[in-house]
Amino acid sequence: MIVGLGNPEADYADTRHNLGFACVRELARRMDVKIDRKRWQSLVGRSESRGVWFVLPQTYMNLSGEAVAKALRDTKLSAEQLWVVHDELDLPLCRIRIRRGGSGAGHNGVLSIISALGTPDFVRFRVGIGKPARKGSPAGRSYVLGRFTKAEAARLPSIVDGVSTALEVALEAGIERAMERFNRAGSLGCEELP
C-alpha cells in the first residue's frame, strides 16, 4: 500500500505539506490508476495487475493514522507492506531519503500513523522541502502549509518525477535497491537552492 500524505481541501493543494499527495498521484498516473474512490476516509485507487493500493487520506495530516489503520485492517496488509510518501523539513528541496522504521521526527502525519498502528515499522519516502531561508524563521505550521516560492515551484516537476521513479524502482526491484540507488545519490535530478 502506497500512502501519500497531505491535507484534503483545495486551499492546501499547492502547499509544501501536500507534496506526498502530488508524488503518489504522479505514480498512479504512470500506472494508469485513478485515485477517485472514497474508502477508509481516503481517496483510493488500485492497480489490480500489480496488487498495489494507492491511498490519499482525507482526514487532515494530524489524523492520517486513522485512515491508514482502517485501510491496512480491511486489506489485511501489515505495516511492513506500507510505504508512506511525505514532505520532510530536515532535507533540502530536491533531496530524498528512503528508510524503514524510525521515529516520526516531528512530522504529525507520520506520528499519527505510528500511533494508530502501534509500530514505526513501515517504509518512508521522505521528500525534502527544506526550512525557511531566513535565519530565525520558525519552520512550523505556517511554513509547511505555505506555498512554494517561484524558484521552488520551478523544481517541483523534477521532484515529483524523481520520487515517482524511486517508487517505481522500489516496486520493480525492491526497497533495498531503491534505497541503495536514491539514498546514495540523494538528489532528485534538480539543483538545490542556495
Q: Which residues are catalytic?
A: 17
In the sheet that 123-128 helps form, which strands lie side by side, from edge to edge? 37-39, 42-47, 52-57, 2-4, 83-88, 123-128, 96-100
Cα–Cα distance, 178 to 175 (Å, whole number): 5
Among the listed residues 6, 1, 11, 8, the one whose alpha carbon sits nearest the alpha carbon of residue 22 = 6
Among the listed residues 106, 10, 127, 97, the one whose alpha carbon sits nearest the alpha carbon of residue 62 = 106
Cα–Cα distance, 160 to 106 (Å, whole number): 23
Say which amino acid occupies 17: H
- Residue 181 three-state SS: helix
Three-state SS letters, 66-118: HHHHHHHHHHCCCHHHCEEEEEECCCCCCEEEEEECCCCCCCHHHHHHHHHHC
